[in-house]
Each structure stands twice: as structure tokens, then as C-alpha cells.
A and B are shown apart, each in its own frame.
Chain A
Amino acid sequence: MSDLIGYLITGLGIGAGFALVASGLVAIHRVTRVVNFAQGGFAVLAALLTSTLLSAGLPHGVAELGGVALGALAGLIVGVVAIGRPDTSPGTSLIVTLGLGVLAYAIEVLIWGDQPRSFPGVPGVAEVGGARIPAHYLLIIAVTAVVFALMTWFFGGTDLGRALTACASNRYAAQVVGIDVRRMGLLAFTIGGALGGLAGVLTTPVQQVTFDSDVTLIVNGFAAAVLGGLTRPTIALAGGLLLGVTQTVVAGYGGGAYQTEVALVLMLTVMIVQAARTGPVPETAR
């Protein structure tokens, strides 16, 4: 029993990372209709910068904030390139973000090399229900909970957040009432970048980061986000936690080699069932 509690909590911690990546994808997609392939790259960049800042002697907290800020900046830059030109279709933007993801590889290898990196998180071991778990997992879960609560407040309770939600539900109507849709798109990219960066900064102490870890992150993040049709942050949170828990439970009970397959097959099934239920995704006019 204590094994299961242990798996559940580490699973929630890992799933919280996926959920943060997923919510970044959702934040960008619902406003701009772009699926941002560079989303995993934000996490990697933020984690790598944090490791450098920490080894340069900056205290915990400041270094992590620096990482998240870099994630947000990278998000803004990706946004400018991906949707900066008027009339860039979401399909074109997807390919552009794919290209930017590869460009991030060049920058990361140039600055940080291609070896895995990590940095210490919260030290010590916590005991929950008889299970001994590295205390850092509890921090990940707590921070993610706070961030999702803040996002709910931001999107529903502030003017800026409501403007973003307006763009998400109807671009044309949002334009009519005087919202600058492109600027909102860039803001969405910046928020997405910060969320991705936060995911990287939080999970790196328990999972090493290399320049190409973004593939795992983006695939799991997409799998979590696709459950809610890439538009609903709360379902993305649930999806991410579900994925994390499933993977650790599968790994914990002896299927360690197959934990990636579990997530990927789950994602494929969800997408195929969704497509079968709703028919093909509606075409955009060209």
C-alpha cells in the first residue's frame, strides 16, 4: 500500500510537469490556433539557464525566476516569428515553431553542450502515508496547484485575462470590441513560454535535462492537452496528472521499459476516438 502511495505522489509530481507544458500549449492554442511545437524547448532553456545561474552562486528562487523569465522571453520571440507576419496560417505557424524548436537545439548545444544537466531541488525525504518520497515532489505539486489557481483567477477575473478568453472564443468579435488580437496572441505566447519554463525549472531536480528532452515533454504535454481538445486548461491539468500517475504506476509495477508506450498509445486512442466521434476537424477557409 505504501508503495502505491509513493507511486501516486511521484506520478502527480511528474504529471504536474506535463500539465504545465500542456497548459502552455493550451494558452497559446486557444488564442492563436497555433500548436506550438517549441513548447518543450522553453522548459529545456529555462532549466539550463537555472543550472548555470545556480552554479554561478545565485540563491535558489532567484535562479529559478531567471529561468522562467528566459522561458517567457523565448515564448515572446517564438510568437513574433510564428504569428508576427499577418495572414500566417496556423499550419504554417506549426512548421515555423518546429523550425524554432530545432534552432533552440543549436543554441542550447552551443552554450551548454550536449551532456545532461541537473541541479539540486528541495533536499530531504518526506513521509506520506508510510511512503518515503523525495520532498521535491511535494514542492512541484504545491507550485503547480498555486499556478493553476492563479491562472483561473487571471483568465476569469482580470480584464487582460478576459480579453484573452474573448480572443479564444471569437476572434472576430474580439476585434470588433477593440481588442488587438495579434498583441493578445503574443501575450499568449509569452504566458506559454513562462509556463513551459516553469515546468522545466520544477522537474529538472528529479529528472535530468538534455537539449533534446523537449521531445518527451512536448509529446506528453500534447497528450495531456489533447484530452481537452487543446482549449481547456483544467482538462489539460487532469490529463497531465493522469499521464504522470499512469506512467509511474506502470513503471513501478515492473513495466518500466514500457512507460513511454503507455502515454503515447493513450494519446493516440484519445485522438482517434475524438475524431471518430466528431468527424474530421472542420476545415478552415482559404
Chain B
Amino acid sequence: MNRWALAGVAVVTLALPPLLPERHLATFVLLLLAATVTVGVSLLMGYAGQVSLGQASFYAIGAYAAALPAVHGVPSLLGLVLAPVAAAVAAVLLGAPLLRLRGHHLAFATLAVQLILLSLLAQADWAGGAIGLQGIPRLTILGFELRDLGYAYAAWSVLAIALLIARNVVDSRPGRALRAAATSETAAAASGVAVGRHRLAVFTLSAALAGLAGGVYAFYLGYLSPGSFPVLLSIEFVVMAVVGGLGTLAGPVVGATVIILLVQLLNTLGTQPGMPDYAPSVLSYAVYALLLITCVLYLPKGLVPALRHPRKAGITR
């Protein structure tokens, strides 16, 4: 994307929040947070070649790490700083053994980690247990307590930080090393790439991004429970990354936008009078599933490359 288009998108998205009604503002905030997590998932899948089915666990770790101290009176900004740190520390500790695994083994291992985390959280009375953690204070930055509009800009900044980091990683020497390792691990290792270390670094980075987004999420909603982070949420992040296009910077943002807007639209449709009460969930499951399957089979590079080079990214593979 060229510089002017980027500036245009930035200006439009910055001008948008005050114009949105409250209901759509919530969608806007959640969309930006989901896009932030997806940037990490996309780095992991596109550049390290690994699927994580447990990314929501780092989102959860970040959220709880931000909310727990804040509930006990620690300044909320400090909690927000703790969120990515806690997620990154967890990723290093988990990644050291888990990243020995590849492909479907790693996919199941990350899924298992999330199930373990959810089960532990549900039993942890100090974290609110299965009922959840209530009364999380609002985020206060320099004595200024954030309201709805403030969270929109907080989420915007978080996504901007994530994209900036991702761009620098992709353009860097370690970024090239990672791409080499994703194509052929043996060849990369033979060329002197410390594959294991790079892989752990990108896993940690993606966890930190998820943790940071989780921190904002905790303060924005003011309530957390293990049920806020189902396995389906992890799958959603994968769907967003795949639909948008792996290995591109705009991909995660486009993927998250397309999916969240579509699901929101169907949700509105599904809650119309006369629709059965299960309609919203059925419609959103169907959307995730059909978009994921169609993209993987017919647009394996995702929407962004397909829009950029309509002929190249199509059916031919």
C-alpha cells in the first residue's frame, strides 16, 4: 500500500469514532482489538508457518494480567503495561517446550494449552472463578479516565503499534530468516538461521500483541470470565488471518474488518423480530466456516493479494 493510501486510511479511521452511534462504536473497538491479535496470528502463520489454535489464551492472559492488579487498586495504566509482558512471559515458558512441535501437533498443543488455561481459570477463586472478575475500573491515563471514545482511540493506537512492529519485523534480517525457515527449515538451518530462537521470538511477539489487545479489552468491558475466551475465539482469529491473507500487513486488518462487519450485519438480521433466537449464532458459525473453507480452497493467499493481483491469486496455484 502506498504512503498516501495509508495516510488516507489513518485519517478516515481517526475521524470515524465521534460519528458512530454507541452500538457501532463497540463494534469499532472490538474490531480493532481483533485485528491487533490477528496481526500476531498472521505473523505466526505467514512467517513462521505455524498454526496456533490457542491464541485466545494469550488474549485472556493479557486481559487478566491487566484487570487483576487494577481490581486491587494498582494504577490501571500499569496493568495495561503488564498485559503484554505477562502474555510474552507465558509464551516464552510455553513456547520453549511446545515449539519443538510442528504442524498439526502444534495446533493441538496450543488448543490443549487454551483448554487447560480455561479450566484453571474457572477454578481460580482469586481470579473470579467461573463467575468471572467484576468491577474492573476504567483505564486512566495521566489522570484522565477513558470513556467510550477514549477506548476507540486506545484500540486504534494499539493496532497502529502492532502494525508498526510487524512491518519492522518483516523487513528485518530476522524477518527474512523466518520466511526462509517457513519455506524450508532444513535449508534455513543449513544457512545458519537459528530457527528455534527465531520461532520462539515470533511466537512471543504474537502473544505480546494478543496480550496488549486483551488488556484494553479488559478495561473496555469491565468484566472478564473464562467464558469470554472460548476455543471458537482462537479459531476466529485464524479465520480472520486466513481470509485477509497471510504474510501481508493489510491482510489481518482486512480479514478482521470483513468478518466482524459481516457477522455484525448477520447479527442484526438474526435478531430481527420473527427470527428464531438461535439465528445469530447459526449465521455466525456458518459465516466463519464458509469463508474459511472457500478462502483456503479457492483463494489460498487470502483477500488482500487476490484484490491486488486478481488474475494471479485466483484459481491457479
Contacts and interface: CB of A to CB of B under 8 A. Distances in A.
Nearest to B291: A99
Contacts of B102: 275, 280-281
B115 A94 contact: no
Contact of B297 (A96, A261, A281): A96
Nearest to B288: A102
B104 interface: yes
Contacts of A234: none
B123 interface: yes
A118 B104 CA distance: 32
Contacts of B104: 35, 90-91, 94
Interface stretch (A15-23, A149-157, A241-249, A266-274): A266-274
A261 B242 contact: no
B111 A106 contact: no
A113 interface: yes
Contacts of A267: 108-109, 112
Given A98-B292, A272-B101, A106 B116 contact: no
B108 A222 contact: yes
A100 B293 contact: yes
Most chain B beta-carbon contacts within 10 A, residue among A88, A99, A267: A99
B116 A261 contact: yes
Interface string A74-109: 000000010001011011101110111111011001
A264 B112 contact: yes
B293 A103 contact: yes
A173 interface: no
A275 B115 CA distance: 22
B43 to A, nearest CB: 17
A159 interface: no
A99 B238 CA distance: 10
A254 to B, nearest CB: 14
Interface residues on A, range: 35 or more
A35 B101 CA distance: 15
A99 B289 contact: yes
A87 B300 CA distance: 12
Contacts of A281: 101-103, 105
Contacts of A102: 232, 235, 285, 288-289, 292
Interface residues of B, number: 46
Nearest to B185: A283
Contacts of B51: 91, 94-95
A156 to B, nearest CB: 27
8 nearest CB pairs, A to B: A103-B289, A99-B292, A106-B285, A106-B286, A99-B293, A35-B104, A102-B289, A275-B100
A98 B286 CA distance: 12
A261 B184 contact: no
Interface of A: 35, 81, 85, 87-88, 90-92, 94-96, 98-103, 105-106, 109-110, 113-114, 215, 219, 222, 226, 257-258, 260-261, 264-265, 267-268, 271-272, 275-276, 280-281, 283, 286
A110 B285 CA distance: 11
Interface in B274-317: 278, 281-283, 285-286, 288-290, 292-293, 296-297, 300, 317
Most chain B beta-carbon contacts within 10 A, residue among A95, A103, A219, A261: A95
Most chain A beta-carbon contacts within 10 A, residue among B97, B183, B289, B292: B289
Given A103-B290, A257-B123, A280-B185, A92 B300 contact: yes
A267 B317 CA distance: 36
Given A94-B51, A94-B107, A96-B293, A261 B282 contact: no
Interface in B150-189: 183-186
A1 B112 CA distance: 33
A268 B109 contact: yes
A283 B49 CA distance: 12
Given A226-B105, A268-B112, A260 B119 contact: yes
B186 A283 contact: yes
Contacts of A268: 97-98, 109, 112-113
A279 B126 CA distance: 40
Contact of A261 (B98, B103, B111, B120): B120
A219 B293 contact: no
23 contacts: A35-B107, A87-B317, A91-B103, A94-B103, A94-B104, A95-B242, A99-B292, A102-B232, A102-B285, A102-B292, A103-B290, A215-B115, A219-B108, A219-B112, A226-B108, A257-B123, A260-B116, A261-B116, A265-B116, A268-B109, A280-B185, A281-B103, A283-B186
Nearest to B119: A260
A101 B231 CA distance: 12
Contacts of B290: 99, 103
